[in-house]
């Protein structure tokens, strides 16, 4: 993937119903470009696009709507009821989406300092993307309730879709920064503000391309915040950057808004 050395790419992921789209929209309000893998998956399955013929060949006319396009709800009904079918769909779509994602990130990086790549199946696909991974997390029962209340899903179907994805523990193990979306919208906005500061600090380090520990020490010295480094020796990389970012924004020492 070719992009400016001063552009930071954040991989944003989370389970279905976790609130990834809301978080992405809030980050976009703060100046980040957003590239969504789900949107790209829909695009590559349009007639004439790279994945269309293979999807129709594998799943047949039952997943083709009257206008010739892939009927996404019918396709979802098939793949979420059959693990092998879902694996076949992912084998067709994921490589094509990966290529499209790289191209879109490179294009967005020409005009933005921060690009957020929303990849719902980042963990399942084993993708290594960007400079850091932000996970939007919530308990499974909350996710199921959202799917039922906000998307009109049948409860059993909602539970199947949640169960078909990686576990919370698997996603959290990949996280450099976590946004907990189990409260109010105001709670989420506050965490996104802190997450935006995390992104801003990460972007600063990407721009400097220096040693992370020495750069953290330098920033801490600049704000006379020696306490920030308490326990730092037990941390490393982005987790330490994230901890510093949250402390900085709470202290009013770091700008919250990420400017493209």
Residue 151 backbone dihedrals phi, psi, to 5 degrees: -115, -5
How confident is the prediction along the chain (260 residues), in pLDDT tens digits per residue?
A: 444 455 788 899 999 999 999 999 998 888 889 999 999 999 999 999 999 999 999 999 999 999 999 999 899 989 988 989 999 999 999 999 999 999 999 899 888 888 899 999 999 888 888 778 889 999 999 999 999 999 999 999 999 999 989 999 999 998 888 899 999 999 998 888 776 666 655 555 555 544 444 554 555 455 444 333 323 332 334 444 455 554 544 555 444 333 33
Residue 110 pLDDT = 87
The token pair that represents 152 in the structure block: 């009109």
**End-to-end CA separation in angstroms for the chain:** 20
pTM metric for this prediction: 0.75
CA 241, CA 197: separation in Å to the nearest integer? 10
Residue 128 pLDDT = 83
Residue 234 pLDDT = 28
Q: Which secondary structure element, helix H or strand E, spans residue 197, and what is its range?
A: helix 185-208
The token pair that represents 65 in the structure block: 């709507």
CA 208, CA 211: separation in Å to the nearest integer? 9
Handedness of CA 206, 209, 212, 218 (dihedral sign): negative
Rounded to 10°, the helix 185-208/212-222 angle is 110
The token pair that represents 157 in the structure block: 């179907």
The full length of the chain comes to 260
What distances in angstroms separate CA 108 from CA 8, 64, 209, 253, 260, one per listed residue?
Answer: 11, 32, 21, 28, 10
Residue 199's nearest CA partner among 260, 247, 258, 252 is: 258
């Amino acid at each position: 993937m070719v992009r400016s050395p001063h552009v930071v790419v954040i991989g944003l992921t989370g389970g279905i119903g976790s609130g990834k789209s809301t978080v992405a929209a809030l980050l976009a309000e703060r100046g980040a470009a957003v590239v969504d893998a789900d949107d790209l998956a829909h695009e590559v399955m349009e007639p004439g696009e790279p994945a269309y013929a293979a999807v129709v060949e594998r799943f047949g006319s039952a997943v083709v709507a009257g206008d010739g396009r892939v009927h996404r709800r019918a396709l979802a009904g098939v793949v979420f009821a059959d693990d092998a079918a879902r694996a076949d769909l992912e084998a067709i779509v994921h490589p094509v989406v990966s290529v499209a994602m790289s191209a879109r990130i490179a294009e967005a990086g020409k005009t933005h300092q921060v690009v957020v790549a929303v990849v719902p199946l980042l963990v399942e696909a084993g993708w290594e993307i960007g400079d850091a991974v932000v996970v939007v997390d919530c308990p499974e029962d909350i996710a199921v309730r959202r799917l039922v209340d906000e998307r009109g899903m049948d409860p059993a179907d909602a539970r199947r879709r949640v169960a078909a994805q990686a576990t919370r523990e698997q996603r959290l193990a990949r996280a450099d920064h976590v946004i907990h979306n189990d409260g109010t919208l105001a709670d989420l906005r506050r965490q996104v503000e802190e997450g935006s500061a995390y992104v801003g600090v990460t972007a600063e380090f990407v721009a400097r391309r220096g040693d992370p520990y020495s750069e953290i020490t330098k920033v801490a010295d600049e704000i006379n915040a020696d306490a920030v480094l308490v326990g730092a020796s037990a941390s490393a990389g982005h987790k330490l950057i994230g901890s510093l970012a949250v402390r900085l924004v709470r202290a009013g020492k770091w700008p919250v808004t990420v400017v493209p």
